[in-house]
Structure 1
Amino acid sequence: MLPGNTYVRECPHCSGKFTQPTMASGNTFGAKFWPDGKMDAPMMPEYPSYVGCPHCKGNFWVEDTKVIKSLGYNEEREIPDLILDPIQNPIPYKDPTRKIYLKGLNDLNITRENEIYLRSKLMQIYNDVNRDQKVQHTPIDSQIENWNRLLEILDSKETHEKLLKVEIYREMGNFEEAKKAFTGEFDEEYMDTMDMLDKLIEARDSRVMCINPHDD
């Protein structure tokens, strides 16, 4: 992995400064994948689009914040006086949590694409308790509500959205609906994922298990 520039950005709520790392290049060597879309890749970390401010309780979409400066990978940083002006100290954003994602969903003007992003990430967080566990916990009410809302807003034409529908039905144990959602045209780049999901559905397996456990 080759790190890219680090951007110093400004919170739209308190004007506090936070840092946003980027990646110049990376790869998925040694990565683990799960059918709900989660990826754990040491050489290609995921940088979230919706985060929390490290200075206040505000949350925001990173791309909507103001860029103050860009720092090269080896560039020395100036650290302001922490006592006189603590919010001007650029520190990393808060990684999103279930609470942060739920707050984002309270936005009355949220777009369909942004709602899908938040709910799909929320789905992964709900799944973490069951991830790679042979015995799965019963889904909680808010998890089921999140599944149902995703099924309402997902498109039946875009391949990645159709596959998410298939996965939701599979996790719910509704294998017949999962098979029905597996219709129409799919982009070739998703063939491996489709093949794996098809095998899980045929096995009537609703668990959230790593789909490439032996790939190193």
Structure 2
Amino acid sequence: MEPAGDQTAESPASGEIATPAPAPTPAPVTTSEEEVLLAPHVLGDPNAPVTIIEYASLTCPHCAAFHRETFPQIKEKYIDTGKVKLESRDFPLDERAALATLLAYCVPDDRYFPLIDLLFEQQHSWAVAPNLIEQLKKMAGFAGLSSEDADACFNNQALYDKVLGQRKIYSDSGAVSSTPTFYVNGSKIVGAQPFATFEEAIEAALN
């Protein structure tokens, strides 16, 4: 399995200045594209007034930095209190990220975000490891996925095609060209920005 080579983009430096802006008008989604898109995973109250849409790649170091340093603060202040929900849209930049994304979709829904957190936390141990499959199986094991189930997941061509197909749709829509990219009720934030940047955008959306 090889992802299309023309979609890989470098992540911006974590210090890049965020530029809140209206969300771009997405390209029309055809029936065939709707069939490709996987249902995004949502963390938080489905009725929360503010939605953060996150486009991330599991091998992206700036995405990992966001999840280690900024996301816990957002979760504590806004998600756990019912003010914000996070919609995760996987945007794998390379083959390793695509394989890790497959595993995340193969675990039970309630273990998706814990596995994502673990993959970002342990990114240094698997993203560049020569024994990638073995390391990913170890990560999946913490989420209750057996070695046999992980193998079946890696060999699920239909799911793999959907993971790459939705990445192309997201890219073609103009919504994202690098990771991480966020939309806070339509305001765009690019890069692993500090908590204060997200706090400002969230408070503006709440008020």
TM over 0.5: no
Q: TM-score range, shorter-chain basis?
A: under 0.3
Q: Using structure 2 for the length normalisation, give the TM-score.
A: 0.27
